[in-house]
Amino acid sequence: MTPGVVLGAPMIKVFVSGWYDILHAGHLQFFREARALGDHLIVSFASSEVLWQQRQRRSSLPDEHKRALLASLGAVDEVVIGTGREEGLDFKEEFLRLRPHILAVTEDDKYTPLKQALCAQVGARYVVLPKTPPQFPSISTTEIVRWIRAPQEAPLRVDFAGGWLDVPRFARPGGYIVNCAISPTVSLRAWPYERNAGLGGSGAWALLNGKDGVGSELDLGVGWQDPAVIAETGLCVWRSGPRPDLELKSDGAFLRGRLAVYWTGQSHSTPGVANQARDYDAIARAGQTARDAVWRQDLNQLADAVRQSHAVQCAEGMEPLPADLPGVLAYKYCGGGFGGYAFFLFAESTARDAACQRPGFRPIEPYVATH
């Protein structure tokens, strides 16, 4: 006889429902806590057709495979498939047939009124399970899908003009941000650049870890240009605004052999200088010049935009950059400046390659994903 079980007492059936498309440790913990409310746990998952109809997402497994997987769990006694089309109540038909004693949900359930009304039809208790300390770091199905889809490698980026107009509070209607994804690329195992260096490393790191890069950057109080171009790749023109709005993308072929980055020897923090006073009118003019240059594929006009951008940086008090390089057209600090990397634009590849023989310089190329 199982301890705590009274012979002749009615079996208490507990019912839970969800997508359960990709099982994770949080689901297992919820099943165990729900099972502790009674004697028999019934788990309902939405069918592949319901998942597609309500979430526009393909099921991770065929329904019968998913049923077998759930049924194999120690806390689960019975598995049913929800096929109803009413949002939040795909399990209604099975619930009314089985007439469980308890419907258990989590504190963040979005369909409380509908589910309480359903419970009233069969006299079931509606039980909200309080959030308990997770036994594992919390993760959602969406986060798992992002992790699976995360790339193995990602580019970093250089910004030519318009930087800061991607920060929502500094956005300007009619303004532009122009930037370019670059190679060599980075990965979770290989990072051939300095850290905290103005090349969009935090955006690349978020992407490689399956995170929402744009959301991560906005949470830091800075702009979206880094994760936007890193995910998009190519030479890009973006419209200023609260979220990425791509106007033009090219392969940046006219820049090949003409770009280099220079390590200044000190890291920098873009959030640390985000609120510093600066000339946003001049930044907007440089962004417009760079945007027109990309449309025309005009190297010299793009160099003019870079020089305008650097003039704004110098007015903010950034240290002078090495300028005694044959064949250099323009240069500026990357990102927020005040350290980190600077990038240099050259008239010819031979001048670029010669400059990269100097300490601190390295060649980079425009990067466009091939898939």
Within this chain, domains 13-144 and 150-366 share the same CATH topology: no
Nearest by Cα to 44 from 6, 71, 22 = 71
pLDDT single digits (tens) 113-165:
999 999 999 999 999 998 776 666 666 666 666 666 767 899 999 999 999 99
Nearest by Cα to 230 from 170, 281, 186, 283 = 186
H-assigned helices in 56-174: 63-71, 92-98, 112-122, 141-149
Indicate the domain borders of the chain.
Answer: 13-144, 150-366
* Two tokens, residue 61: 């497994």
What is the pLDDT at residue 269?
Answer: 79
What is the pLDDT at residue 273?
Answer: 80
pLDDT single digits (tens) 162-201:
999 999 999 999 999 999 999 999 998 899 999 889 999 9
For helices 201-208 and 225-232, angle between their N-to-C axes, nearest 10 degrees: 50
**What one-letter code names the amino acid at 353?**
D
pLDDT tens sequence for the chain (371 residues): 444 445 556 799 999 999 998 888 888 999 999 999 999 999 999 999 999 888 887 888 899 999 999 999 999 999 999 999 999 999 999 999 999 999 999 988 999 999 999 999 999 999 999 877 666 666 666 666 666 676 789 999 999 999 999 999 999 999 999 999 999 999 988 999 998 899 999 889 888 888 776 766 666 667 899 999 999 999 999 999 999 999 999 999 999 999 999 999 998 877 778 788 899 999 999 999 999 999 999 999 999 999 999 999 999 999 989 888 999 999 999 998 999 999 999 999 999 999 999 999 999 999 999 86
Tell me the whole-structure pTM to 2 decimals.
0.66
> What's the CATH code, domain 150-366?
3.30.230.120
Nearest by Cα to 348 from 260, 261, 286 = 260
CATH fold group of domain 13-144: Rossmann fold (3.40.50)
The CA-to-CA distance between both ends of the chain, in Å, stands at: 61
CA triple 165-217-345, angle to 5 deg: 55
> In the beta sheet, which residues pair with residue 18?
45
> Are 196 and 269 in contact, with CB atoms under 8 Å apart?
yes
Tell me the C-alpha distance between 186 and 199, whole Å: 11
Using the 8-state DSSP alphabet, how is residue 170 labeled?
Answer: G
Report the C-alpha dihedral over residues 273, 274, 278, 279, rounded to 10 degrees: 140
What is the pLDDT at residue 59?
Answer: 85
